[in-house]
Amino acid sequence: MNAAADDAVLFYSADGADGVPGVIRQVNSTKVENIPYPALTSEQQGDIPVVNKNGRLEPLEARYLVEIELKETANLKVGQSGALRMKSLPGSTLGHLWQRAYNIIIRESNF
């Protein structure tokens, strides 16, 4: 995932309303180990596939917490489900390699 703080997002509620713009405030760097909201999980027909281990709902896929701030919340309800679309710069392996090589050249040339 290439999402970073201040990237633009659109939240589309499950009721089919227009997207609500917002920005990413924070992306947690560690995987979520427990989903505290059963309604979001496959245990209760939600979208997140989980396995129940001793009462803990552990996601079957890597999930990371993304905190967003929506510009307008008047038409949304607390706990509203929907889809989040992130507008992040596309990642490129070649681009990452070039950036790393460039950083090494700059670092080594300044000794």
Predicted confidence (pLDDT) per residue in 45-82, tens digit: 878 888 888 888 988 888 888 888 998 887 787 777 78
Displacement of CA 46 from its chain's centroid (Å): 17
| Residue 24: burial class (beta carbons within 10 Å; 0-12, 13-18, 19+) | buried
Predicted confidence (pLDDT) per residue in 4-55, tens digit:
788 889 988 887 778 899 998 998 878 888 888 888 888 888 788 888 888 8
| Predicted TM-score of the model (pTM) | 0.57
Instruction: Name the nearest CA neighbour of 59 among 72, 40, 77.
Output: 40
Q: Domains of the chain: which residue ranges? A: 8-109
